[in-house]
Structure 1
Amino acid sequence: MVAQTNNEQPILIIKDSLQVDQPYNALAPAKAAFYSAVLPGLGQAYNKKYWKIPIIYAGMGVSLYFVIDNNKTYNQHRDEYKRRLNGTNDPNDPFYGGISNQRIIDAQRLAQRNRDLSIVITGLIYIINIVDANVDAHLMQFNVNENLSLKPEYKLNQFDNTHNYGLSLNYKF
Structure 2
Amino acid sequence: MKNTTPTPPRPDALFSKMSHRFARQLTTTLPSIVKHLPEPPFFIQKKIGESILQSLLAEPVEMGDFDCLEDRWLHIHINDADLNFFLSFKDEHLILGEDIAQADVIFSGNVKEFVLLASRKEDPDTLFFQRRLTIEGDTELGLEIKNTIDGIDFEQWPTWLNRIIQNISRFISDDESKLQAMTSSQPH
TM-score of Structure 1 vs Structure 2, range by shorter chain: under 0.3
Flag the structure with more relative contact order, 1 or 2, with Cα contacts below 8 A and sequence separation at least 6: 1
Structure with more helix by fraction: 2
TM-score by length of 1: 0.23
TM-score by length of 2: 0.22
Which structure would you say has the larger Rg? 1
